[in-house]
Amino acid sequence: MFDTATILAGLGDVFQLMTLLYVLAGVIMGQFVGAVPGIGPVMATAIAIPFTFGMDPLAGIGFLVGINKGGLVGGAIPAVLINTPGTPDAAATALDGYPMAQQGKPLKATKMALYSSVTGDTFSDIVLITVSAPLAILSLRMGPVEVMGLMLLAFAVIASLMGASIARGLAAAALGLLAAMVGTDPEHATPRFIFGNFEVYDGLPLAAVAIGMLAISELLFRLARTRSAQAATIRIPRDQPSEDRRVSFAEYWACRFTMLRGAVIGTLIGALPGIGSTAAAFMSYASAKQVSPDRASFGRGNIHGIAAAESANSAVMGANMIPMLTLGIPGSVSAALIVSAFMIHGVQPGPFLFEQQGRLIYGLFGAMILANLMNLLVGQVGMQFWVRVITAPESFVLTSALLLCFVGVSLAAGGLFGIGVMLAFAILGFVMTAFGFSVVVFIIAFFLGPRFEISLSQTLALLNGDPLRLLDYPFGFVMIVTAPGLAVWLARRSA
Amino acid sequence: MQTDRITGATLIMLGSLLIWWIIPWQAEEVGYGWLRPRTLPYIISAGLFFCGVWMMLRPVAEGLTAANWPRAAIYAGILVSGLALMSLFGFLWVAPPMALVLMLVVGERRLLWLTAGAAGTPSAIWVCVAILLERPLP
């Protein structure tokens, strides 16, 4: 499709000093904001876009890509260290990362998160670079029926594996779907469950609900449990052996299939617009747990749990670019923001992008791979810093985390109203957790709810009242029919 | 077991409340279309109802997380009061005393850490958000 000169020129562009520095700055900023609950890479990208106006297109887009990739690594830090995932996609990482940190191995847990995140991300970037066009065509063939089937499958897997029982898992999913219905319904645009409050016309803000349910409710649990204000948030033994502070190559290699599986799941889900990294992380986690001979150790600090979640949620990022670059369809909010940056720089994403801007695109690919390497290097230093921060007393760390959540949600979800929503859902999350309902299932259902309702509506329109027409969509049919049986089977296996 | 039955009964009540009162009140009735505004809420509410029945009939004796409810209520009260005060005076004036009260309730008495939590963190947030990012604080 291109001559070698275009590819080499594009890859060479990324090695200009200013471009390298902007990518590095993006990675550092992304890792930092990713570690702050509520702000996250999406918001950082939105804030950073105006700063790219004056930059060279490759430097500007590389800077934004760096923020996104850094944010993926940064998001795992609070999830592992204080069990308060800043974004829903890091919630799966906390399941095993936090228990491992509590065992006095926070550095090992964060490093495994870093390595598996970079591995998953690099895998999806390679897929993007090599087979983006055929994958985009495949993802376009996934119509509403297939997307709805995939979501049903995701609900079934997640609801049956999380929480104390399958009834609780399903109830948590139902509550999440109900919360997702606040606002206007997608088919008729009539208001639902707004109780006269027009601020929720567009639905409840995701950041406020997610931070409230995942982070604030956990902080409330931690604060209520704290017995000694002088205790460090995490105790690291003074005579800790060096193997508890690092991930050996043997440990990394032992997780290769888990990471590969996670990267494949993340890449496939990332290629489909709108499903997102949260579902990918949990599906990967669930599959790693199912195939493991030591299922009981999951949720108690199993390194494979971290590898599964991080490789999948990071793989989504590169794959999100597949429909964006080839078809002009952004696969996520981050990808949509990068599309806007492309347009600001006079570049129109879509089928002709590779022909018209081949050099820029290969430069971008080079920047993505470089950002992964920088993520690895910056992460090595950054993890040491965060692990030191976390040895401060709980009273300081938890209070500071609360203030950061207040500000983060205020910025992301519309001021004091967003904070009010966050606190309401924090109380709901606290009650749900106390009674054995998984807040993670709630959040995933809440996140996928609007897309699920649209897909269901479109599916019903396609079927035109005739259920037998479902047979015209074999992949969707199989997924829809399999979902309930799979839920029961998984629940029995994990019981 | 008993908790499961009580939780199940709560879900049954919630499902019933949604079906008989909240959905008819808060979702418009539309007579056309493939997926009407009330359809999915009704299906999900019925699902909640049946989950409740399931939990009552087949309770399990595990999965609860021990919670210190009175202390959690105190912290939630501080946060809600902080939010109410922020709507009057703003984050900059409310965050330091709120952080100080939280740390004192936790039991922190060391001046260095109290200063770091009540003055250091809010100042750092102010510098990052209001000065560097030029975004408004709540």
Residue A80, C-beta contacts closer than 8 angstroms, at least 6 positions apart: A93, A94, A97, A98, A100, A101, A106, A109, A110, A113, A306
Give residue A321's pLDDT band: very low, low, confident or very high (50, 70, 90).
confident
- Set of chain A residues whose Cβ sits within 8 Å of the Cβ of B7: 435-436
- Set of chain B residues whose Cβ sits within 8 Å of the Cβ of A229: 103, 106-109
Q: Quote the tokens at residue A252.
A: 């990394």
- Convert the pLDDT of each residue in A325-363 to its tens digit: 776 666 676 777 777 778 777 887 766 777 778 788 888
8 Å CB contact between A153 and A486:
yes
- Convert the pLDDT of each residue in A150-203 to its tens digit: 888 878 877 776 666 788 888 999 999 999 999 999 888 899 999 988 888 889
Q: What is the mean pLDDT of residues A296-304?
A: 88
Q: What is the mean pLDDT of residues A210-236?
A: 77
- Set of chain B residues whose Cβ sits within 8 Å of the Cβ of A223: 71-72, 75, 102, 106
- How high is the pLDDT of residue B23? 95
- How high is the pLDDT of residue A191? 92
- Other Cβ atoms less than 10 A from the Cβ of B88: the count is 8
Q: Quote the tokens at residue B85.
A: 């005060």
pLDDT at B13 over 90: yes
- How high is the pLDDT of residue A139? 66
From CA A121, how far away is CA A72, in angstroms rounded? 9
- Asked whether the beta carbons of residue B55 and residue A192 sit closer than 8 angstroms, the reply is no
| Residue B66 Cα to chain centre, angstroms | 18
- Give the closest of B62, B76, B109 to A427, CB-based: B76
- How high is the pLDDT of residue A329? 66
Reported ipTM: 0.94
From CA B98, how far away is CA A398, in angstroms rounded? 13
Q: How many CB pairs under 8 A join A and B?
A: 197
Q: What is the mean pLDDT of residues A400-406?
A: 87
Q: What is the mean pLDDT of residues B61-77?
A: 80
Structural domain count of chain A:
1
- Exposure of A247 by Cβ count < 10 A (0-12 exposed, 13-18 middle, 19+ buried)? buried
- Set of chain B residues whose Cβ sits within 8 Å of the Cβ of A400: 99, 117, 121
- How high is the pLDDT of residue B53? 94
Mutate to test the interface with A, among B23, B86, B103 (most CBs of A within 10 A): B103
Nearest-Cα distance to chain B for A217, in Å, is 9
**Structural domain boundaries enclosing A389:** 4-494
- Convert the pLDDT of each residue in A67-97 to its tens digit: 988 888 888 888 888 887 766 778 889 889 9
- Give this prediction's pTM: 0.78
- Give the closest of B33, B133, B138 to A419, CB-based: B138
* Higher pLDDT among residues A324 and A28, named by residue: A28
- Asked whether the beta carbons of residue A220 and residue B76 sit closer than 8 angstroms, the reply is yes
- Exposure of A343 by Cβ count < 10 A (0-12 exposed, 13-18 middle, 19+ buried)? exposed
- Convert the pLDDT of each residue in A412-464 to its tens digit: 777 889 999 999 999 999 999 888 888 878 887 888 888 889 989 999 999 98
Place of tokens 């202390």: B71
- Nearest residue to A318 via CA among A347, A348, A338, A345: A338
